[in-house]
Amino acid sequence: MATEGNNLSEYDKSSIPNAKEFRFGIVVSEWNEKVTEGLFQGAFETLKEHGVLEKKIVRWNVPGSFELTYGCKKMQESYDMLDGIIAIGSVIQGETKHFDFVCQGVSNGITQLNVNNDIPVIFCVLTDNNMQQALDRSGGKHGNKGTEAAVAAIKMAQLRKESRF
């Protein structure tokens, strides 16, 4: 298991650019709310820790992880002044193939948003075998994938800024 022995919340804070000038959007799935709220808190607190003002963070909720792609697309269209968007969701394996279709659809959809648009979308969708694994990665014993996503969002916003001529 890739996360075993690693804490998703541990990183070199001095290597992260100051994000005080950046604006971020966060689209959060309401499905598996205990998990997604933990991920949101990790992302939100990390953005603030690196200088992002609370008023420069926009949050939208969508019903489930499959709807994240549409929510992120609409956020890209509505807020062209955003520097990055974080898509937060949690899909837990069940007894049917529904898990596979949702995971594939969301990952492909977010990839397409990144290829076709200028505002980077960070994939913060847990795809776990059970609820305990999701809880362990949303503020539990393995840290918080939301923290990791916020760090990625800041780095991508900086890359976007530096790549402009």
- The answer to whether residue 116 sits within a structural domain is yes
Distance CA 120, CA 159 (A): 10
- Confidence band, pLDDT 50/70/90 cuts, at residue 109: very high
- Per-residue pLDDT reduced to its tens digit, 51-92: 999 999 999 999 999 999 999 999 999 987 999 999 999 999
Greater pLDDT, 153 or 10: 153
**Residue positions forming the annotated binding site for 5-amino-6-(D-ribitylamino)uracil:** 31, 65-67, 90-92, 123
Annotated binding residues for (2S)-2-hydroxy-3-oxobutyl phosphate, as ranges? 95-96, 137
Catalytic residues: 98
Number of domains in the chain: 1
| Residue 40 pLDDT class (50, 70, 90 cuts) | very high
In 3D, which of 76, 155, 150, 88 has the Cα closest to residue 113?
76
CATH code of 83's domain: 3.40.50.960
15 in a structural domain: no
Residue of 144, 162, 165 whose CA lies nearest to 21: 162
Domain membership of residue 114 as a residue range: 32-163
